[in-house]
Amino acid sequence: MKTRIIVAAVGLPLLLLVLLVLPPVATGILVGAMSVIAVYELLYMTGLARNLYLLVLSALMALAVAMWSCGGGTWKPALVGIWLYLMALSAVMLSAHTALKFETVCVSMFAGIVIPLLLSSLTRILFLDYGRFYILIPLILAFSSDTGAYFAGCYLGKHKMAPVVSPKKTWEGVAGGVAAAVVVMVLYALILDLAFSFEVNMGAAIVYGVLGSATSVVG
């Protein structure tokens, strides 16, 4: 948790610069880099990174998905790209049919298509009205929840939440994370209301805080 907070404190200013100041293409490049890293992490954890063909094909597809989203997201080129990617994966599977199983290739497909498609939602949000304000919500939730959970767990944590799976997490930390996320979300909603004349639903802000913190804990 401490490492996550330090990384967020260092990387958050750079991320805000890309999301709020630079043009949307910069966000597309950032999402592309994040997608390639995510592909490598998933294939490495599953032992598939040893297959250079799967790694390169999935990384290129992830980058293409991210840039496709940045370009507006028309479906015809996307379908062509997915078809080419699937044909290439099929060729790799056929050439090494004794070593590669179908479920193995499915992991590569998930890494190359689904993960970057989810991450590229950041770019699509930017194209919405007031998208630069919406895109801050998950960042605010993650950072505030982690910070609240860390300090509450350090000073108040006594009851382990999942001793085997995550021995450092406590129920007190979870409560601190939820409380911090709710408070920060309400403050953010007030800022949008007072400074930018947004019509903010405070009830929704509280729900976002609770659900966002719960998602952060599970993650």
Q: How far is CA 191 from CA 125, 202, 212, in A?
A: 20, 12, 19
In angstroms, the CA 66 to CA 25 distance is: 10
How many CA atoms lie within 13 Å of 118's alpha carbon, on the beta-carbon side? Answer: 8
Encode pLDDT of 101-118 as tens digits: 888 888 989 999 999 988
Q: Report the DSSP beta bridge partners of residue 170.
A: 160
In angstroms, the CA 151 to CA 153 distance is 5
Domain ranges of the chain: 22-126, 131-218
Please compute, for residue 115, the number of CA atoms within 13 A of its CA located in the half-sphere on the CB side: 26
* pTM for this model (two decimals): 0.69
pLDDT in tens, 62-94: 988 888 877 666 777 778 888 999 999 888 888
Both tokens of 97, joined, read 């049919």
